[in-house]
Amino acid sequence: MKNRLIYILCVLLLIYSAMPRALAADVPMGFGEEDTAEYEYEEEFVFSPQIIRAMAGTDSFVDSIADQNSFDVPCKAAYLIEEQSGQVLYAKNAREKLPIASISKIMTMLLVMEALDSGKISLDDIVPVSEHAFSMGGSQIWLEPGEQFTVHEMLKATAVSSANDAAVALAEFVGGSEEAFCAMMNERARQLGMTDTHFVNACGLDADGHYSSARDISKMALELMKHPQIYEYSTIWMDYLRGGETQIVNTNKLLRSYNGITGLKTGTTSKAGVCICATAKRENMSLVAVVLGANSSQERFSAAKQLLDFGFSNFETKSFPEVDGLPENLPVKLGVEKTADIECRLPDSLLFVKGATTQLSCKIQLPEYISAPMYKGMKVGSVELYSSDGKIKEYDILLSQDVVKIDFNKALSILTKKSACM
C-alpha cells in the first residue's frame, strides 16, 4: 500500500510538471534570462537626463566627469574622485605613467596598516634600524644603525615628515627586506587593479621602473582611507620624536590652510616634480585629489585646492533612501525548494550635482514567484531609484542560489526520504 501511494504521488508530480506554464505567464519578460551586458568599463552615472537638462546653462560643470577642456590645473596629471561612490569628477592625463616620489609611501603605509589589522605586528613593536635604512637620502629623521623606534613612531615619521629612512625601516620590519616588501607592494597594487604602477623601493626615491599614475594613486589612497587610524598620523601638523629632541612638521601645508583637509601624502623629487595626494572631508562627502608633476610647491597646493574646491562647490552626497518591503526570498514554482534567496547590492550614498535634486525614493519591481530552473546571479527584479525629476537608475535584484527544477527522480527521492521518516 505504501509503495503504491508513492507511485501515485510521483505520477501526479510528473503530470503537473508537464502542464503548460500558464501560471508563469505573469513573470516579467527578461527576468528569467541571464544578463549578458558587460559592465566592466561602463561608467556609473547617477544623473538623469532631467537633472542634466535642469542644470544646463546655470552650471558649467553639468557632467559627472570634467577634464582639462573644462578647466586646467598646473601639473602633468591630475585626478579627483569621491570616496563613497567612487565617482570620478576630474581627470587629466590620468593613466600616464609617471614618477611619484614619496606618494609611494601611501602603499607602504597601507601594507603597515594591514599588518597591524592582521596582528602580524603591533604599534608598540620595536623597529630596528639597518645600515640600509640608514643609507637613505632625501627627507629623513636621521636614523642611526641600531637605533630603535616603535612602529607608532616610525609611522608618524613616515606620514608627517615623509622620512625615507623610517619608511624603509618599516618595510624591512614588515617584509623582511625592502626587496621582499616591494614584491608585496606590487602584489597589492595588482589586487587593487593598479595596472599603471610598479614599485622598486618603499620610499619613492627616483629609480628606473618606479612609477604610477594619478588614477592608480587614487585607488591605493581609497584603500588606505578604509583604515581611519591613518588620520591620526596624516593630520598631525607638528610633533616630536626622541623624547622631544627631534621636531617633525607635516609636509602637507594644506593642513594649515584648507577647510576639511585630512591628509594624505606629499612627494618631491627631481624626476617626479612636486606632487600631492590630498584628501578632505566636509559634512558627509570625502574627496581625493591627486596632483603629479607640478613645477613648484605653490602650484602643487594651488592645483589640489582647485580640484577640491571644484568637488565641494559643485557636488553633494545624499544617503540612499530606505528600501521597505524587499523580501529575502521569492516563492518557486516547479522547483525542488519552495523558495529561493535573493540579494540586491545598494550603495550607502549617492553623488549628485549640488542642488539638482531633492527628495529620493525607491520602488521595488519583483514577480510574485519564479519558475525553475534558474541559476545563481540571474536577474529577477530591480530596485528603482527616483528623484523629484523622475527615475535616476535601477539596481538589479539577483538570485543568490541555484533554483533546481523538480523531476521524477528528485520527486521520488524526496518522497522516499519523507516516507522513511514516518
Task: Please enumerate in sequence order all residues whose Cβ is within 8 A of that of 116, keeping only pairs 6 or more positions apart, or say none.
Answer: 122, 123, 151, 229
105 catalytically annotated: yes
Query: Nearest-CA neighbor of 348 among 315, 384, 320?
Result: 320
* All cell numbers assigned to 89: 569628477
d(CA 66, CA 105): 28
Largest CA distance in the chain: 95
Sign of the torsion formed by the C-alpha atoms of 105, 106, 112 and 115: negative
102 catalytically annotated: yes
Q: Please list the residues that pair with 334 across neighbouring strands.
A: none
d(CA 134, CA 242): 16
Catalytic residue among 105, 156, 265, 379: 105
> Exposed, middle or buried by CB within 10 Å (0-12, 13-18, 19+), for 187?
exposed
Query: Nearest-CA neighbor of 139 among 244, 248, 232?
Result: 248
Q: Are 139 and 162 in contact (CB under 8 A)?
A: yes
* H-helix or E-strand spanning residue 74: none
**Torsions phi, psi for 384 (to 5 deg):** -100, 130
48 catalytically annotated: no
> Exposed, middle or buried by CB within 10 Å (0-12, 13-18, 19+), for 254?
buried
Catalytic residue among 48, 102, 139, 382: 102
**Torsions phi, psi for 21 (to 5 deg):** -85, 60
Length of the chain counted residue by residue: 422
Catalytic residue among 48, 130, 139, 162: 162
Catalytic residues: 102, 105, 162
